[in-house]
Amino acid sequence: MNDRRKLLKTAIAGAGLYGVAPFYGPWKTNRAWAQSAQKKPLVIGLTMDTSGQYAASGAEERLGAMMAIKEFNAKGGVLGRTIEALHMDTETTPATGTRVAERMINRNEAAFLVGAMHSGVANAISQVAQKYGCVFLNTNSSSPTESGKDCHKVKFVWDGSGTNFSHAIVKNAMKVNGKNWLLLTNDYVWGHETSKATRAIIEANGGKVVEELLVPQNTRDFASYLLKIQQIKPDVVATAVGGDDIKALRQQVVQSKMNMKPAWINNQQDWPDVYGLGPEAIFGVFGTNWYWRLDLPGVKEFVAAYQKQYPGLGIQTPGNVYYNGYMATRELLRAVERAGTTNNLAIIKELEGLKVSARDRMQHFDAYMNPVTHHLQQTIYMASYNDHPAEKDDIFKILAQVPPQEVEDKASITTCKLEAATPSYEQ
C-alpha cells in the first residue's frame, strides 16, 4: 500500500517535472563585462527559441543575427563599441519570453532585443520591451496582430505577415483552383489572424469558406482532419499551421496521397521546416520573402558567406528565417550608426523612416518601414516545389514576385495604435 502511495506521489512529481521541463536552465550569458578603458560593449539580447515547437527556426535566425553582429564587429563595432550578443532560450513559450526580456533588460543591460518566431512569444517580449522603452525587433513572427492590435512603439516587424502572404497567393489560387475553400487553422493567435485575413480575401473575391477546422497546437495526428476534408470536398485547403504541427500534417497528407487533390495553400513555408525534404513532402503553393537562388545581385555572396561562416551545419544554405535575422540586426546597427546614439527614441525615429533599396535587400522591389504600424513592407514571393532542381537544395520554384504595395495589410493601419508616450531608454 505504502509502495502504491509512493508511486502515485512519484507520478504526480513526474507530471510536475514534465510541466516545468520547458523552464529548466541554466541561463547562458557570454561573460560579465569588466570595467576597463574600453567603451562598454553594446549588448544585443537575442530572444530566440532553441527548444519547443520553433527550435529549428530559432537556431537559424540566431545565426543570421550573429552574422550581422560579426560583420559590424569586424569593422570596429558601432559607435566605437564592440557588440556582444547575449542569447537566452525563449523556449517557444510566452511566459519564458517575458522572463527572458525582463532579465535581459534589467540584469544584462541589453540595449536592444532581437528575435521571435512564435507570435505569443513576440507579443510577450514586446510588452516588457515597451514597459522599459527597449527597442525590440520581431524578426520572424508573422502574425498580422504583431503590426496590428499588438503593435508597440518599440517594436518593429521584419517578416511578411500572414495577411501579406494571403494577398499574394489567395486571389490567384481562386482563379486557378476554385471558390470553395476550407481553412485549417492553428488554434492560437497567428493561426487565427492569418485565417481571418485569408477568409476576408476569399469572401471579398466572391469565394466561400465552407468550413474552418481548428488545429490545437502540438497536434500530431491529422487523420481525422484529412477524412473530414475528404467528406467536405473543398476546392482548396488553406493552412495556417506552423512549427512541428505542419511537419506532421505534411507527412500525413503525403501518406494519404492527398497532396495533389484538393489544392493546398500553405501561407508561408519557413526554410528550416522544409529543408532537406523531397517533392513528396513539399506540396501546394506557399509564400516566402526570400530564396537563396534568387537571381539578384548580392545573393550568391550572401550564401557563400553563410557557408563559410557555418560549415558543416545541417542546413547548408540560408533561408528566409536566417535572412530575416540577419537583415533586422543589420538595419538596427545601421540605424544606431546613423543616429549616432543608442537612445531608443532616436533609433525608433531612424527605423520609422527606413527605406532599403531592392539591391540592398536582395529582393525584387524596394522595401520601406510603415511608420504607422512599424511593419517592413517588402516583396512577397509565391512559390511551389521545384520539380527540376538546378542543384542541391534548389527545392523552391519561385512562381511570382509581388511588390509590397499589392500585398499591404490595410486593416493593420487602423488596428495598430502606437503608444504616444514611451520611456527614454539607453544602454
Whole-number minimum distance, CB 180 to another protein, in Å?
A: 17
Question: What residues have CB less than 8 Å from 340, skipping those under 6 apart?
Answer: 79, 346
Report the residue from 68, 315, 354, 416 that binds another protein according to the rule CB under 8 A.
315
CA dist., res. 61 & res. 89, Å (int): 12
Q: Toward another protein, which CB reaches closer, 77 or 318?
A: 318
Site string for another protein, 37-56 (x = CB under 8 A): --------------xx--xx
DSSP H/E element including 113: strand 112-114
Would you count residue 224 as binding another protein (CB under 8 A)? yes
Question: What residues have CB less than 8 Å from 20, skipping those under 6 apart?
Answer: none
CA dist., res. 345 & res. 101, Å (int): 19
* CA 14 to chain CA centroid, nearest Å: 33
Site string for another protein, 9-28 (x = CB under 8 A): xxx-xxx-xx--x--x----
Would you count residue 210 as binding another protein (CB under 8 A)? no
Report the residue from 244, 270, 331, 350 that binds another protein according to the rule CB under 8 A.
244
Please give the order of strands across the beta sheet that includes 208-215: 208-215, 180-186, 236-240, 263-268, 285-288, 380-385, 396-402
Report the residue from 230, 341, 357, 414 that binds another protein according to the rule CB under 8 A.
230
Site string for another protein, 156-195 (x = CB under 8 A): -------------------------------x--------
CA dist., res. 342 & res. 114, Å (int): 15
How many chain residues are in contact with another protein, going by CB under 8 A? 56
- For residue 30, give the 3-state DSSP assignment: coil
Would you count residue 213 as binding another protein (CB under 8 A)? yes
Question: What residues have CB less than 8 Å from 1, skipping those under 6 apart?
Answer: none
> Which residues lie across from 381 on neighbouring strands?
288, 401
Would you count residue 204 as binding another protein (CB under 8 A)? no
Roughly what angle, to the nearest 10 degrees, separates helices 243-255 and 223-232? 60
Would you count residue 318 as binding another protein (CB under 8 A)? no
Report the residue from 231, 311, 392, 424 that binds another protein according to the rule CB under 8 A.
231
Would you count residue 276 as binding another protein (CB under 8 A)? yes
Whole-number minimum distance, CB 91 to another protein, in Å?
A: 11
Would you count residue 279 as binding another protein (CB under 8 A)? no
Would you count residue 400 as binding another protein (CB under 8 A)? no
Stretch that binds another protein, among 105-113, 146-154, 228-236, 378-386 (CB under 8 A): 228-236
- How do beta strands 380-385 and 263-268 pair? unpaired
Whether 326 and 309 have beta carbons less than 8 Å apart is answered as: no
Residue 117 is classified by DSSP as: S
Report the residue from 215, 236, 294, 332 that binds another protein according to the rule CB under 8 A.
215
Would you count residue 255 as binding another protein (CB under 8 A)? yes
Residue 283 is classified by DSSP as: -
What is the separation, in whole angstroms, between the first and last Cα of the chain?
A: 61
DSSP H/E element including 423: none
Would you count residue 419 as binding another protein (CB under 8 A)? no
Would you count residue 392 as binding another protein (CB under 8 A)? no
Q: Toward another protein, which CB reaches closer, 1 or 420?
A: 1
Whether 250 and 242 have beta carbons less than 8 Å apart is answered as: no
Would you count residue 2 as binding another protein (CB under 8 A)? no
DSSP characters over 292-312:
TT--STTHHHHHHHHHHHSTT
Q: Toward another protein, which CB reaches closer, 115 or 133?
A: 115
Stretch that binds another protein, among 69-77, 144-152, 240-248, 286-294 (CB under 8 A): 240-248
CA dist., res. 126 & res. 384, Å (int): 33
Would you count residue 275 as binding another protein (CB under 8 A)? yes
Whether 158 and 114 have beta carbons less than 8 Å apart is answered as: no
Report the residue from 223, 304, 353, 426 that binds another protein according to the rule CB under 8 A.
223
Whole-number minimum distance, CB 51 to another protein, in Å?
A: 7
Distances (CA, A) of 241 to 41, 212, 218, 281, 365: 40, 12, 10, 15, 28
Would you count residue 353 as binding another protein (CB under 8 A)? no
Report the residue from 281, 296, 305, 398 that binds another protein according to the rule CB under 8 A.
281
Residues that bind another protein (CB under 8 A): 1, 3-4, 6-7, 9-11, 13-15, 17-18, 21, 24, 51-52, 55-56, 59, 187, 213-216, 218-228, 230-231, 244, 247-248, 251-252, 255-258, 272-273, 275-278, 281, 314-315
